Amino acid sequence: MNLGEYFKRRQRLVDRALERWVPGENEFPPQVHQAMRYSLFAGGKRLRPILALAAADAVGGRPVDVLPLACALELIHTYSLIHDDLPSMDNDDLRRGKPTSHKIFGEALAILAGDALLTEAFHLLTRPELMRDIPPARRMRAICHVARAAGSTGMIGGQVLDMAAQGKEIETHLLEYIHSHKTGALIAASVYAGAILGGGSARELKALNGYGEKLGLAFQVVDDLLDVQGEVKKLGKAVRKDKTQGKATYPAFFGIAESHRKAEALIGEALVFLKSFNGRANPLREIAKFILQRTT
Amino acid sequence: MNLGEYFKRRQRLVDRALERWVPGENEFPPQVHQAMRYSLFAGGKRLRPILALAAADAVGGRPVDVLPLACALELIHTYSLIHDDLPSMDNDDLRRGKPTSHKIFGEALAILAGDALLTEAFHLLTRPELMRDIPPARRMRAICHVARAAGSTGMIGGQVLDMAAQGKEIETHLLEYIHSHKTGALIAASVYAGAILGGGSARELKALNGYGEKLGLAFQVVDDLLDVQGEVKKLGKAVRKDKTQGKATYPAFFGIAESHRKAEALIGEALVFLKSFNGRANPLREIAKFILQRTT
């Protein structure tokens, strides 16, 4: 399969759905909808939505049944970026090559736009006119999983400890906790919730959960490496910031070469979890390999 | 009926449930759970949870089926207070007689604790071990309604315009939009979603929606009046702030006496919506009258 083509096709599907389901820029009050859409359509790769769709593929589900979840995941991811970039958090001026939300709209509106994106995610997941073919109990299970992964013992928990660890000596297990939570949790939940909605069996869900966890952690290790080795122009955000801010990163702990090896090992383990799946899991396999090679 | 007793009993019910369902202070990472609980247990009246329970009473529902919704509404309300108090928003130092979240925990953790409370609300609403006797489709409908009321065209929309209107001349219809959204939307949704989970008929839901909208607007008008006439000691927050900040308020627009009359008229209209209900709606009736007399 051609992963580039697959990504482009799925990105279009997700972008069209977001365009349709998220309130328009002119919807009242326009300020907040402009701010929401500014960050939402700033050129994200749509990795989480595509993982949810690919996980549904892997268990024989239909993309149309998973699309609202796919969009909700991107709304949650986008809100987390807006809030992480705030002056009182990472204080970033640049994201995906554009000024961050608070630089354009001011802090108050950036906070509220983030809040609104998070809330809209759960609105989208519960709208009665969507996902009509999914049994409501199954749908509720997927939403519950996403909420837990995004919450205080998931993504937010990771971000809290990431902030707390700045400039401090920490132990390896805390480093791993931060990485597997601040980024890993939502990536893993994208795979898992996509597979739930796709109708995966208990055995399939267990395997895909393993895949998602390894993939999520690998993604953040590669992110750390890109911060050390990447270019502002390609990444569209400031580089070498982790070091300046005294962040807990894999390269700072283990060095560049060893971090590379760890990411490779994690992707290898992720692929093992897909062993019992047929060709329908090929997108998930290709995405795992791509995570290692990505340069943006 | 004795409203004071009713309130106390229901507050205890809600507080015990929050204590049970919200992650404990020692749950990892403790910082965020301490910050969440600091604001959650700072002495709120639990008006929104009690409205949800009273609306279920009115249509013959059982409190136990509505309790997770009641708690979720308080989580959402608490997150909105934490974010509204932030330096870039209303910049308040005092809330319910105590230092605001960012004063104790710093801005970053206050923002994240707010995010976590909002996320936890939707987690609580979808946990499979709760609300087992409610048909999942009905439950989904209630969640969808809450999400819309809390989002960019509801509570957040009201807050966005409240910020934008500061120090500006605005028209009456915008004043009413701000009030009916920033406070009214979640109050109305508490009544409506409580009635959905309680198994209300279409006719009952329509009437309770009318009641909730009038009540929500009246609540904010009285809030404005308390800001003008109240005492810091009783209210536990700064007074006369609306004027200093150039906020759009009913007393500023219509004067104190006329604002009183408007609040009274709204409560009168709210009560008319309850005409066809029997004695089971008495708590809703008493709460409406109480809104007018409240001094905190």
Q: A244: which residues sit within 8 A by CB, 6+ positions away?
A: none
Kindly state whether B27 is in contact with chain A, defined as any CB-CB distance less than 8 angstroms.
yes
Give the SS3 label for residue B193. Answer: helix
Quote the pLDDT of residue B204: 98
Q: Beta-carbon neighbour count of residue B248 at 10 Å?
A: 25
What part of A 231-260 touches B (C-beta under 8 Å)? none
- The pLDDT confidence band at residue B153, using thresholds 50, 70 and 90, is very high
Quote the pLDDT of residue A37: 98
Kindly state whether B285 is in contact with chain A, defined as any CB-CB distance less than 8 angstroms.
no
Q: Which domains occur in chain B, in start order?
A: 3-293 (1.10.600.10)
- The pLDDT confidence band at residue B264, using thresholds 50, 70 and 90, is very high
Cβ pair B83:A111 closer than 8 A: yes
Kindly state whether B31 is in contact with chain A, defined as any CB-CB distance less than 8 angstroms.
yes
Q: What percent of chain B has pLDDT over 90?
A: 88
**pLDDT above 90 (res A233):** no
Q: Which of A116, A143, A156 sits opposite B126 (nearest CB)?
A: A143
Per-residue tokens: B38: 């600091």
- Greater model confidence, B118 or B97: B118
Cβ pair A109:B163 closer than 8 A: yes
Average pLDDT estimate for A267-286: 98
- The pLDDT confidence band at residue A123, using thresholds 50, 70 and 90, is very high
Helices and strands counted in chain B (H then E): 16, 2
Per-residue tokens: B67: 């309790």
Kindly state whether A176 is in contact with chain B, defined as any CB-CB distance less than 8 angstroms.
no
Quote the pLDDT of residue A244: 76
Cβ pair A144:B153 closer than 8 A: no
Using one digit for the tens of pLDDT, what is the confidence trace for A164-191? 999 898 899 999 999 999 999 999 999 9
Quote the pLDDT of residue B95: 92
Give the sign of the dihedral formed by CA A244, CA A246, CA A250, CA A255: positive
Using one digit for the tens of pLDDT, what is the confidence trace for A73-105? 999 999 999 999 999 999 999 998 999 999 999
**pLDDT above 80 (res A231):** no
Q: Beta-carbon neighbour count of residue B35 at 10 Å?
A: 27
pTM of structure: 0.97
Quote the pLDDT of residue A30: 98
Quote the pLDDT of residue A200: 98
Q: B116: which residues sit within 8 A by CB, 6+ positions away?
A: A151, A152, A156, B32, B36
Residue from A37, A115, A131, A146 whose CB has the most chain B CBs within 10 Å, to mutate: A115
Per-residue tokens: A6: 């697959």
**pLDDT above 70 (res A232):** no
Using one digit for the tens of pLDDT, what is the confidence trace for B24-45? 999 999 999 999 999 999 999 9
Q: Average per-residue pLDDT in chain B?
A: 95
Backbone angles phi, psi at A99, to 5 degrees: -60, 145
Q: Average per-residue pLDDT in chain A?
A: 95
Average pLDDT estimate for B244-268: 92
Which residue type is seen at A285? R
Chain B residues with CB inside 8 Å of A106's CB?
A: 88
DSSP string over B43-77: ----HHHHHHHHHHHHTT--HHHHHHHHHHHHHHH
Backbone angles phi, psi at A95, to 5 degrees: -150, 125
DSSP string over A230-285: --HHHHSS-SSHHHHTT---HHHHH-HHHHHHHHHHHHHHHHHTTTT--GGGHHHH
Per-residue tokens: B210: 């009318």
- Classify the phi-psi angles of B147: left when phi > 0, otherwise alpha if psi is within -120 to 50, otherwise beta: alpha
Q: Which of A123, A128, A137 sits opposite B151 (nearest CB)?
A: A123
Which chain B residue shows the shortest CA-CA distance from A90? B108
Q: Which of B32, B106, B163 sits opposite A156 (nearest CB)?
A: B32
Cβ pair B164:A31 closer than 8 A: yes
Contact A239, A227 (CB under 8 A): yes
CA distance A13 to chain B (A): 24
Quote the pLDDT of residue B295: 73
Quote the pLDDT of residue A189: 98
**pLDDT above 80 (res B239):** no
Chain B residues with CB inside 8 Å of A88's CB?
A: 106-108, 111
Contact B70, B53 (CB under 8 A): yes
Q: How far is CA B262 from CA B169, B214, B218, B243, in A?
A: 21, 11, 8, 20
Quote the pLDDT of residue B238: 73
Chain A residues with CB inside 8 Å of B141's CB?
A: 126, 128
Reply yes or no: is the peptide bond before residue A29 cis, omega within 30 of 0: yes
**pLDDT above 90 (res B232):** no
Quote the pLDDT of residue A115: 98
Residue with tokens 């009168």: B268
- The pLDDT confidence band at residue B296, using thresholds 50, 70 and 90, is confident
Q: Select from B186, B191, B183 the least CA-distant residue to B210.
A: B191
What's the number of CA atoms in the CB half-sphere (13 Å) around residue B81? 24
Contact B77, B3 (CB under 8 A): no
Which chain A residue shows the shortest CA-CA distance from B161? A29
Cβ pair A123:B147 closer than 8 A: yes
Residue from A141, A160, A178 whose CB has the most chain B CBs within 10 Å, to mutate: A160
Using one digit for the tens of pLDDT, what is the confidence trace for A18-50? 999 999 999 999 999 999 999 999 999 999 999
